[in-house]
A and B are shown apart, each in its own frame.
Chain A
Amino acid sequence: QKEVEQDPGPLSVPEGAIVSLNCTYSNSAFQYFMWYRQYSRKGPELLMYTYSSGNKEDGRFTAQVDKSSKYISLFIRDSQPSDSATYLCAMSLARDDKIIFGKGTRLHILP
Chain B
Amino acid sequence: DAGVTQSPTHLIKTRGQQVTLRCSPKSGHDTVSWYQQALGQGPQFIFQYYEEEERQRGNFPDRFSGHQFPNYSSELNVNALLLGDSALYLCASSSTGGNEQFFGPGTRLTVL
Contact = CB atoms under 8 A, between A and B. Distances in A.
A44 B98 contact: no
A41 B102 contact: no
B40 A103 contact: yes
A44 B96 CA distance: 21
Interface in B45-73: 45, 48, 50, 56, 58
A37 to B, nearest CB: 11
B45 A99 contact: yes
B88 to A, nearest CB: 8
A7 to B, nearest CB: 12
Interface string A9-50: 000000000000000000000001010100001111110010
In this complex, the interface size class of chain A, counting residues with CB under 8 Å from chain B, is: 20 to 34
19 contacts: A8-B40, A32-B99, A41-B88, A43-B90, A43-B104, A43-B105, A43-B106, A44-B43, A44-B103, A46-B100, A46-B102, A46-B103, A88-B42, A95-B97, A96-B98, A99-B33, A99-B43, A99-B92, A104-B41
Interface of B: 4, 31, 33, 35, 40-45, 48, 50, 56, 58, 88, 90, 92, 94, 96-106, 108
Contacts of A85: none
Given A32-B99, A42-B106, A49-B99, A98 B56 contact: yes
A101 B43 contact: yes
A96 B43 contact: no
B45 A98 contact: yes
A100 interface: yes
Q: Please list the 5 inter-chain residue pairs (A to B) with the smallest Cβ-Cβ separation, ordered nearest first.
A: A101-B42, A98-B45, A43-B103, A43-B105, A44-B103
A90 B99 CA distance: 13
A59 B51 CA distance: 37
Contacts of B100: 34, 46, 49
A104 B88 CA distance: 15
Nearest to A104: B42
